[in-house]
A = this chain, B = another copy of it.
Amino acid sequence: MWGDGRLCYGGDWNPEQWSPQVWREDVALMRQARVNLVTVGVFAWSRLEPAPGRYTFDWLDQVLDLLHDGGIRVALATPTASPPPWFSLAHPGALPVTADGVRLHHGSRDTYCAAAPAYRTAARRITEVLADRYATHPALAMWHVHNEYGTTCHCEHTAAAFRTWLAQRHGDLGALNTAWVTSFWSQHYSDWAQISTPRATQYLANPGQLLDFRRFWSDTLLAAYVEQRDLLRAANPRVPVTTNYVLGDWVPVDHARWAREVDLVAIDHYPSAVDGGAEEQSAFAADLARGWARHGAGDGTTPAWLLMESAPNHIYTPGRMHTKEPGRMARHSLSHIARGSRGAMFFQWRAPAGGAERFHSALVPHAGPDSRVYREAVRLGAILDRIAETDAGAVEASVAIAWDAASGWALQHPGLPSASLDHHAEVSAAHRALWRSGYACDVVVPGDPVEAYRLLVLPALYLTCDATADWVREHVRRGGHALVTWLSGVADEHARVRLGGYPGALRDLLGLRVEEFHPLAEGEQVLLSRGGTGRVWSETVRPAGAETVTAYVGGVLDGLPAVTRHRYGAGAAWYVSTRPDDETYRRLMVEAAHAAGVGPVCPAAPPGVEAVRRRAGEASWLFLVNHTDRPQRIPADGMDLLTDTPVDGEVVVPAGGVAVIRETPD
């Protein structure tokens, strides 16, 4: 709704790759597809500033005017994610260095060190120049700073900045030595100058150093963003500023923390599963984004977030681009919008003839507009126009799942009991169990308000500081339910193991003590007493007040608890000491949710039909996304916005189709 009262629809457009004739054709095609927002200039630095201090804005002036004339608004990017070749040649010390000491070279994108002063200076300069020229352009809907912040470096600039950051974080060397447990392996530092980034070393690296290096990069990249944002805001305070988040295990960015600094949380989402997993990944990503936005808003206002990039017709898997089936693009878009995205944006508008991503998906593919993809794009544009009113509604959820960037990073460290530990995978597995049960859920960051939720799920919340432990305890004490899974509470904020029995921070809440871990081998399973299996992990759980819900069957843990429940305060805390298989997890989640008094969004929706409700005051909208290959009849009353027909008791959602129903108030 950035300016024109409609959901955002469009994508990245790179006019610098095309002739003015194509520009005009593109604007006509955009209008045909009802596109109303395009991201421009993301990788245009070398075309905007072909030599240091020499600027060529004519083409961009024309492009913005042309778009404005066509009624299309612009997310104008600062092009700092890829400095031009002249910059790299002039500033070799601003090229990034790997942990092995390899200095990378120009030839791709993102090849700079964000801690290098020369880079930061050049980035600020181009930002200022852009702001000067375009901050009041009528086409400007928002600033899109940079692109997918996430690169790191190990150069000397970085090492110096890391030491400065560490001094600020830890105050004095003694505190750092304690936090990093440098008494292990003779790593005690007696001078700040002795500390380097976690460069290639002989054997396992220090977990505290690794964790702080990620945090340092999150803060350093954020500082680079904030510098630009402040310049842009200064030029025109009314234009919102954002940057598009890239998701992935390798990204050293705490997206929740960043959410406080953006006017709009924007995510790029590319599922990696070809099968139904793609739909589950999309729903999870959307819930994550909404959670980050809520965390960033802080003040309870409706959080704004936007699916800034998605692939029109590809799912990228290792070694292959899978072509999305007909209708799937729209379903993925609607799933995001149902979960609060302010629109559906794509990478990219038009497929390029060259460059490294010449085969990346586009709304106008190599084949041109006479293509299935473009025809689906036109249909999607029409759908979005019909459902614009839903943007006013807030997503309803009574379950919350905790997510924590730092726990994700800490579980990537070497020396853990198993190489299969993955915070994101565990949060995702819990989310999937809820998704398959038809429950809506919010993602929360430890410390966020959780009074609104009946059930709080903590999957593998490995780093649990005292405040977080208090936060969970307080939730349960006052009557909430919690479902805690293995690894949660094991370590503190410095990734130091809490002693005396796992999970150190939560033993009292859970009414138990874990004496030993029994990691499972790849593919190994343990049987559970109420059916189903556990994978990845198992534990010797010693109850101290908790009751056994499910026991292990067979093996050295035979008869010992696998799942427990503990009355605590006015609520209850469940503990799950293994990773249940998907169906067992789903049933467990239903049981816990039921005990907590939570029901699914649309009890009659069959498996494969995603149901989300948005509500604004008296009004409510029910999104029904049918991922199955047959029509589905679902009880509903109101108006189907897509077909503009009344729904009286039942709606038939077409195979692979969507229904959005403005519900009749009860």
- Residues of A bordering B, CB below 8 Å: 14, 16-17, 43-47, 50-51, 79, 82-86, 88-89, 96, 98, 100-111, 151, 180-191, 193-196, 198-209, 274, 313, 317-323, 325-326, 351-360, 365-368, 370-373, 414-420, 494-502, 513-522, 540, 556
Query: Would you call B515 and A367 a contact (CB within 8 A)?
Result: yes
| Residues in B neighbouring A502, C-beta threshold 8 A | 366-367
**Which of B110, B111, B181 has a CB less than 8 Å from the CB of A354?**
B181
CA distance A151 to B358 in the complex (A): 29
A208-B354, A357-B204, A358-B497 given; A186·B45 CB < 8 A: yes
CB distance from A516 to the nearest CB of B (A): 6
Query: Would you call A209 and B355 a contact (CB within 8 A)?
Result: no
Sample of 23 A–B contacts (CB below 8 Å): A14-B184, A84-B186, A86-B191, A98-B200, A104-B199, A106-B187, A107-B187, A108-B205, A181-B353, A183-B355, A205-B356, A313-B516, A318-B419, A320-B419, A320-B521, A321-B519, A322-B521, A326-B556, A358-B415, A359-B517, A366-B499, A366-B500, A368-B499
Query: Would you call A355 and B185 a contact (CB within 8 A)?
Result: yes
CB distance from A329 to the nearest CB of B (A): 13
The interface centre, meaning the residue of A101, A105, A368 with most chain B CB atoms within 10 A of its CB, is A105
**Which of B201, B206, B356, B370 has a CB less than 8 Å from the CB of A185?**
B356
Query: Would you call B355 and A206 a contact (CB within 8 A)?
Result: yes
CB distance from A419 to the nearest CB of B (A): 4
A418-B321, A499-B368 given; A201·B107 CB < 8 A: yes
CA distance A356 to B108 in the complex (A): 35
| Residues in B neighbouring A187, C-beta threshold 8 A | 46, 82, 84-85, 106-107, 355
Query: Would you call B195 and A356 a contact (CB within 8 A)?
Result: no
Given contact pairs A106-B194, A184-B356, A368-B501, a sample of 6 additional A-B residue pairs in the complex whose CB atoms are under 8 Å apart: A106-B201, A107-B187, A107-B196, A353-B499, A358-B415, A368-B499
**Which of B191, B203, B370, B494 has a CB less than 8 Å from the CB of A109?**
B203
Query: Would you call B415 and A357 a contact (CB within 8 A)?
Result: yes
Question: How many identical chains are in the complex?
Answer: 3
| Residues in B neighbouring A195, C-beta threshold 8 A | 85
A82-B185, A183-B47, A319-B420 given; A500·B368 CB < 8 A: yes
**Which of B79, B151, B190, B356 has a CB less than 8 Å from the CB of A186?**
B79
| Closest B residue by C-beta to A518 | B323
| Closest B residue by C-beta to A368 | B500
CA distance A497 to B84 in the complex (A): 24
| Closest B residue by C-beta to A514 | B367
CA distance A412 to B498 in the complex (A): 43
Query: Would you call B501 and A82 a contact (CB within 8 A)?
Result: no
Query: Would you call A203 and B110 a contact (CB within 8 A)?
Result: yes
| Residues in B neighbouring A500, C-beta threshold 8 A | 366-368
CA distance A16 to B355 in the complex (A): 51
A420-B319, A497-B366 given; A356·B203 CB < 8 A: yes
| Residues in B neighbouring A203, C-beta threshold 8 A | 108-111, 356
| Closest B residue by C-beta to A15 | B183
CA distance A181 to B111 in the complex (A): 18
CA distance A50 to B186 in the complex (A): 9
Query: Would you call B107 and A184 a contact (CB within 8 A)?
Result: no
Query: Would you call A354 and B497 a contact (CB within 8 A)?
Result: yes
CA distance A517 to B361 in the complex (A): 11
Query: Would you call A104 and B202 a contact (CB within 8 A)?
Result: yes
CA distance A190 to B360 in the complex (A): 27
A184-B43, A519-B320 given; A207·B354 CB < 8 A: yes
Query: Would you call B354 and A495 a contact (CB within 8 A)?
Result: yes
**Which of B85, B103, B202, B352 has a CB less than 8 Å from the CB of A110?**
B202
Query: Would you call A200 and B106 a contact (CB within 8 A)?
Result: no
**Which of B103, B354, B497 has a CB less than 8 Å from the CB of A494?**
B354
CA distance A201 to B495 in the complex (A): 32
